[in-house]
Amino acid sequence: MPENTRFSRRGLLLGAAPLIVPASVFGRNAPSNRVHVGMIGVGRQAVQVNLKQFLAMPEVQVAAFCDVDSWRLEQAAQKVPSARTCRDFRELLANPSIDAVMISTPDHWHVPMSIAAVQAGKDVSCEKPLTRTIGEGRQLADLVRKHKRVFRTDSEYRTKPHYHQAREAVLNGRIGKLHTIRTGVPKGDVGCPMPPDMPVPPELDYERWQGPAPRAPYTEIRVHKPHSYDRPGWMRKLDYCDGMVTNWGTHLNDIAQSGNGTDRTGPVEIEGRGVYPGPDSFWNVLLDFEVRYRYANGVQLYYKIDKPSVRFEGTEGWIFADDTGRIEASKPSILAPPSGANWITLPRKTDKQDFIDAVRSRGQTMADAEVGHRTTSLCHLGHIAIHTGRRLEWDPAKERFTNDKAANDYIDTPIRAPGRA
């Protein structure tokens, strides 16, 4: 069981001593034996994906919701009437009955909230992309290790059967010596005209929503559409998110990193090109891009806007998987069932199950803070190379650029679009 002290709801409400009921009375998934999860951020991803999965798990009790939008908070509370609600995430973290948190907020809040949760003694599952900068990712990964917390970078891609099969085939030598990886993510970001300033909706605590980001006047497409779960505008604004280069990139490049056996390190050389919207556009994330990486083992990764997919190429063939569930290879033997006593078997379970199992066992997840940091850093490195327009050399151990001191400024500072503060 998680090491946090457990209190019954009655004990919390009345200030009484905790009521401890032996798990044997109710069975393994009795209320007293469940992992109590608090959800921070109950927008589109949380409600449409994360909450549904947790509610389907008998070993989980969704015990609390937090959001700065009171309408969204009310919608979530209707789904779990027994859950506590609050608008300040620090209040949720102070609750001793919460064992773990699911962070599903805009990207600029991921690391600050994750750090606060770890320091409060909570286990953490945090949405990808995990970070806004490489530096804050290193800080988070080190802190998780220091406090011995369970951490899961939330992405379902290692679970998808075709991507799982492709990774195992590569790691088991089915395509010979790996030399090239190609990843694609969908085109989805656009520019838009400058919108007018607008009054803040009464249900939104806009000051709390901005948090660590620069202060700016409220307008709807900077945040999210009121009373809606439509795709939010913040996903296309560099103050809060890097756009597709990290958004989907942390899905597909996680598969690439894993198949290359480099998910706890990174490349040594990066160069790229990309297109930002014009200076008259309010949304300002990359519209198109292409990046080339070289690893110390000689493998090259080509990452670009394309159909979401991964292709591994080796000396004896190739294997390809995409988001439609399609998997193809240069010869049937690459796709044959696992064989041999030395076959490398990768774990496969849903991201939420992986997290909860680790919370209960105090084990390690398939994509912990270090893995999430390295995968997101890979995407940041591509963005930095595009932004600077230069070929960059990278030391993955020291996490510093070795040939361009100016590029190191972006290790701790999010990128701003050209011509903008």
pLDDT digits (tens, 9 = 90+) for 264-304: 999 999 999 999 999 999 999 999 999 999 999 999 999 99
pLDDT at 33: 87
Residue 339 has pLDDT above 50, yes or no: yes
pLDDT at 416: 83
Query: How high is the mean pLDDT of the chain?
Result: 92
Backbone angles phi, psi at 129, to 5 degrees: -70, 140
Question: Which domains does the chain possess?
Answer: 9-154 (3.40.50.720), 161-347+370-421 (3.30.360.10)
pLDDT grade, residue 202 (50/70/90)? very high
**pLDDT tens, residue by residue, 203-236:** 999 999 999 999 999 999 999 999 999 999 999 9
pLDDT at 181: 99
pLDDT at 418: 60
pLDDT at 15: 31
Give dist(CA 50, CA 231) in Å, integer: 16
Whether 99 contacts 35, CB under 8 Å: yes
Give dist(CA 231, CA 370) in Å, integer: 29
pLDDT at 294: 99
CA neighbor of 282 nearest in space, from 217, 229, 227: 217
pLDDT (mean) for 331-348: 95
**pLDDT tens, residue by residue, 85-109:** 999 999 999 999 999 999 999 999 9
Whether 143 contacts 111, CB under 8 Å: no
Residue 261 has pLDDT above 60, yes or no: yes
> Which amino acid, one-letter code, is at 35?
V
Tokens of 252: 């597909």
* Residue located via tokens 């942390």: 250
pLDDT at 4: 37
361, β-bridge pairs:
none
pLDDT (mean) for 179-186: 99
pLDDT at 32: 67
pLDDT (mean) for 403-419: 89
16, β-bridge pairs:
none
> Which amino acid, one-letter code, is at 24?
S
pLDDT grade, residue 3 (50/70/90)? very low
Residue 28 has pLDDT above 50, yes or no: yes
Burial 282-291 (b: 16+ CB within 10 A, else e): bbbbbbebbb
pLDDT grade, residue 22 (50/70/90)? very low
Q: What is the 3-state secondary structure (H, E, C) of 95-159?
A: CCCCCEEEECCCHHHHHHHHHHHHHCCCEEEEECCCCCCHHHHHHHHHHHHHHCCCEEEECCCCC
